[in-house]
Structure 1
Amino acid sequence: MTPTPEEPGRRERKRRQTLEHLARTAAKLFESLSYEAVTMERIAEEADVAKRTLYNHFSTKEAILAYWIDAELKRDLAGLQGRIARCTTFRARIECVLHASAGWCEQHPQHLMAYLRHRLLSVGAPGPQGTRPDGSDIALAWEQLIAAGQQSGELRSEAPAEQLATWFHHLYLGALLRWLNTPGLSLEGEFRAITELFVEGAASK
Structure 2
Amino acid sequence: MNIRSVAAGDEGGATVGRQERKRRRLYDQLYDTAVGLFVAHGFEATTMDQIAEAADVARATVFNHYSQKVGFLEEWGARRRARVAEILGAQHAESLPVDDRLHRYLKEMADLNTASRAETTVLMDASARYGRLLQDPSLEVELTRIVEEGRRRDEIRKGVDSDQAGALLAACYFSTVLRWIRQEPAPFDLHQRLRGALDIILRGLLADCAGPGEA
Q: What is the TM-score with the length of structure 2 in the denominator? A: 0.67
Task: Give the unaligned 5+ runs of structure 1.
Answer: 1-9, 126-132
Distance 2:41 2:78 in 1: 19
Aligned pair count reads 184
Aligned mate of 2:79, from 71, 77, 81: 71
Secondary structure of the equivalent of 1:185? coil
Q: Does 1:161 align with 2:152?
A: no
Could you tell me how far 1:190 is from its partner in structure 2? 0.9
Q: Does 1:191 align with 2:194?
A: yes
Residue of structure 1 equivalent to 2:212 = none
Q: What percent of counterpart residues are identical?
A: 21
Could you tell me how far 1:51 is from its partner in structure 2? 2.2
8 A contact 2:134–2:171 mirrored in 1: no
Distance 2:50 2:125 in 1: 22
Task: Give the unaligned 5+ runs of structure 2.
Answer: 1-15, 210-215
Query: For residues 185 and 84 of structure 1, do their structure 2 counterparts lie closer, same or farther at Cα, with a shift above 3 Å needed?
Result: farther
Distance 1:117 1:148 in 2: 32
Could you tell me how far 1:99 is from its partner in structure 2? 1.5
8 A contact 1:143–1:162 mirrored in 2: yes
* 1:81 alignment partner AA: G
List aligned pairs for 1:54-133, cutoff 5 A.
54-56=62-64, 57-60=66-69, 62-85=70-93, 88-120=96-128, 122=132, 133=136
* 2:156 alignment partner AA: L
Q: What is the TM-score with the length of structure 1 in the denominator? A: 0.70
Distance 2:56 2:80 in 1: 23
Could you tell me how far 1:172 is from its partner in structure 2? 0.3
Partner deviation per Cα, 1:76-123 (whole Å, 9 max, x = no partner): 321221325376321111111111111111122223244334444525
More deviation in 113-122 or 90-99? 113-122
Query: For residues 179 and 87 of structure 1, do their structure 2 counterparts lie closer, same or farther at Cα, with a shift above 3 Å needed?
Result: farther
Which protein has the larger Cα radius of gyration, Structure 1 or Structure 2?
Answer: 2
8 A contact 2:98–2:155 mirrored in 1: yes
Query: For residues 165 and 58 of structure 1, do their structure 2 counterparts lie closer, same or farther at Cα, with a shift above 3 Å needed?
Result: farther
More deviation in 91-100 or 65-74? 65-74
